[in-house]
Amino acid sequence: MTLSAVLLAGGESRRMGCDKATINFEGEPLWRRQVNTLRQLGADKIFISARVDPPWRPNDIEFVADAGESLGPWSGLAATLPITPSTLLLALAIDMPLMTAAFLNSLRAKAECGRGIVPRLRGRYEPLAAIYPREAHVDLACASRAADYSLQNFVQRLMANDKVRVVDIGVSDQELFRNLNEPDDPLLISK
């Protein structure tokens, strides 16, 4: 099995009021923090998916324009899954600064050929820190044709087609999935 990774950075950041990717967290912009996390995985290829090519994108990382109209992370997955050269694609949201390479590697260890891993936290899937098989692009295209852009429904479809397995997240790892959405988030204020 081989692994590529995509940093999903195409959100509009309306609640934050500025591009989340450039917000400083623990002394560095979120984009750099997340890129470094992905680099630690030893992925064959790293993509950044966004609406437009960000000025901060490192030269060795390929830009992928979000597919179609802006549907948030859905657009990034729809653009990246069909072109990933690897058997697996790890997706990571730009606004999850507590996520670690160690945790993502633990997910990778549970993946199988043709079958990814999606975490579940408090009964909801966490599709923005998950691993998808390359073949999942077919399911994504079917859901798009049906105008069903729910990532929760997408994960259920993948489960039904035996393309992902769900792993429940223990209490000790729940904080890793915390995302930043507003400028007064305590994580930002305390840093």
pLDDT, tens digit (0-9, with 9 covering 90-100), for 58-73: 999 999 998 767 677 8
C-alpha triplet 156, 130, 44: angle, nearest 5°: 130
Domain contains 184: no
What does the alpha-carbon distance between residue 79 and residue 81 come to, in Å, rounded to a whole number?
6
Share of the chain above pLDDT 90, in %: 68
Q: What CATH number has the domain bearing residue 75?
A: 3.90.550.10
Across 48-62, 102-116, 138-152, 176-190, least confident range:
176-190
- Dist CA 31 CA 36 (whole Å): 9
Asked whether residue 45 is assigned to any structural domain, the reply reads yes
> Does residue 90 belong to any structural domain of this protein?
yes
As for how many domains the chain has, the answer is: 1
Rounded-to-integer distance, Cα 145 and Cα 148, Å: 8
The answer as to whether 156 is a domain residue is: yes
**Above 80 in pLDDT, residue 191?**
no
The answer to the question of residue 191 being in a domain is: no
Domain range for 114: 3-179
Q: Considering the domain boundaries, does residue 187 fall inside one?
A: no
145: pLDDT strictly greater than 50:
yes
Question: Tokens 């077919």 belong to which residue?
Answer: 138
Q: Tell which wins on pLDDT, 116 or 25.
A: 116
The answer to whether residue 175 sits within a structural domain is: yes
Q: What is the pTM of this model?
A: 0.90
What value does the mean pLDDT of the chain take? 88
- Percent of the chain past pLDDT 70, that is, above it, reads 88
Is 186 contained in some domain?
no
Residue 39 token pair: 């680099």
Indicate the DSSP class of residue 173.
Answer: G
Q: Which of 79, 105, 75 is CA-nearest to residue 90? A: 105
Q: Cβ–Cβ contacts within 10 Å for residue 124, how many?
A: 12
